[in-house]
Structures are given as structure tokens and as C-alpha cells.
Amino acid sequence: MIDRYTKIVLTVIAVGLLLNVFKDEIRPAMAQQPQCGSSALPCYISLGDQTVSVVIKDKVNVFKMTTP
């Protein structure tokens, strides 16, 4: 009886250790949203109960670093 109990407990510990090792390898799938701004996929800004359509004409690098 003790032998069967010991085997069950050691099996549970082994499974737990294996799950702990592979926990970083098992990740949920993340969907990547396509960039908005085209005529097929316009951008929208929500202002309270109103929604405004936005068209991107040109992209500007706001964080441009220059050295003197």
C-alpha cells in the first residue's frame, strides 16, 4: 500500500516539475492587428459617444534625435 502511494506522490511531483520546466515554452497565441490608415482599414478615434474617422497622410518621426 505504501509503495503505491509513494509512486503516485513521486509521479505527481515529476509531472509538476516537468510543467514548471516547460511553462515558459507554452504561451498563448497573440494576434497581431494590422496597421490602420489605408482605405481598406481606416483609423478611428473615439470621442465620448462620437467616432471620428482619421486618414493618415504622412508618418512623422516624433522622437527624432539630433546631435549638435
Predicted confidence at residue 9, as pLDDT, reads 93
- 66: pLDDT confidence band, cut at 50, 70 and 90? low
Q: How does pLDDT run across 12-65, given as a tens digit for each residue?
A: 999 999 888 877 776 666 666 667 766 677 777 777 788 777 666 666 666 656
Give pTM, 2 decimals: 0.36
Q: How does pLDDT run across 10-24, given as a tens digit for each residue?
A: 999 999 998 888 777
Strand partners, 51: 46
Of 34, 36, 66, the C-alpha closest to 54 is: 36
Predicted confidence at residue 13, as pLDDT, reads 95
Strand partners, 50: 47
